[in-house]
Amino acid sequence: MLVLWAGVTLPAGRAVIATQQSAEANSPPPETAPPPEEAPVVYYGYNIVRTYPHDERNFTQGLVYEDGYLYEGTGLYKQSVLTRRHLESGRYVKRLRLPDQYFGEGIALFGDKVIQLTWKSEVAFVYDKTTFRELEQFHFSGQGWGLTSDGTRLILSDGTSVLRFLDPNTYVETGRLRVHNDRRPVRQINELEFIDGQIYANILPTDYIAIISPQTGRITGWIDLTGLYIPPEYSPSNIVLNGIAYIPETRHLLVTGKCWPKIYEIELVPQTAEP
């Protein structure tokens, strides 16, 4: 038997080998496991559990809860502060005002430190979280918006669709993550909180919080806070939702906005479909 192989007639003695090779070349590729399907995006509404008073002068940029205390970083030039208050009583136990030339932004706790970004100055302040004594400063490129920690890294947002990872001791950038929803970039990522292995992020200027996979950047869930607070008609357009903290004991969120009169403790309510 003769077998044609790439225009060459092969001797019969090689027919079996050639035939096997031809069959292998023309046969469909072996079946492989299909790529895992992405889990569907989940949607949440909310129930208000209780409310706490919030200073309406506070242009909230960062919010963190720890051991009964609420840390808050605020913005605006000549008005930016870092505070710590007892959540239940509302009593302030520490307050630090930033120098007038800085516009305060997101904050994060890491160990015994509290770290506060600035908006356009490309500098961050590191304080002792108990005394608010300044320990050091570090510089970063671009704008500072939100900040959180996953326990080993700092995670910084800058208003784009990219999150940056920083070493919490050297503050050197160690990686980046592009955030996307249905493969489209999501920009205006603002205040951040790390909860149960996921990044929760305010999306400026909406009433939504995105839940982001820190491995892939994919948005795996949305929290719709529409109607939580409706500013008066005369309010400036920047009086928007911003500020996420987590109470691990109850698994509730604390949320507020820039110059809002209240902080809301909420529980998430799963929704059956996209709102």
pLDDT score, position 37? 63
Separation of alpha carbons 7 and 54, rounded Å: 83
Enter the tokens of residue 230: 């409706």
Residue entry with tokens 């038997």: 1
pLDDT score, position 153? 98
Residue 4 burial (CB count, 10 A): 10
Q: 268 pLDDT exceeds 80?
A: yes
Enter the tokens of residue 182: 């249905």
Cβ 151 vs Cβ 163: under 8 Å: no
Residue entry with tokens 């050639």: 18
Separation of alpha carbons 104 and 7, rounded Å: 74
Q: 7 pLDDT exceeds 90?
A: no
Q: What is the pLDDT of residues 42-58, one digit of tens each?
A: 999 999 999 999 999 99
CATH homologous superfamily of 46-271: YVTN repeat-like/Quinoprotein amine dehydrogenase (2.130.10.10)
Output the pTM of the full model. 0.85
- Which amino acid, one-letter code, is at 56? E
Enter the tokens of residue 242: 């911003």
Question: b or e along 6-35 (b: 16 or more beta carbons within 10 Å of the residue's beta carbon)?
Answer: eeeebeeeeeeebeeeeeeeeeeeeeeeee
Q: 4 pLDDT exceeds 90?
A: no
Enter the tokens of residue 47: 């129930």
Q: Is 22 helix (H, G, I), strand (E, B) or coil?
A: helix
Q: What is the pLDDT of residues 48-91, one digit of tens each?
A: 999 999 999 999 999 999 999 999 999 999 999 999 999 999 99
Cβ 43 vs Cβ 60: under 8 Å: no
66 forms bridges with which residues in the sheet?
69
Parse the chain into domains and list their residue ranges: 46-271
Cβ 60 vs Cβ 83: under 8 Å: no
Name the pLDDT band for 211 (thresholds 50, 70, 90).
very high
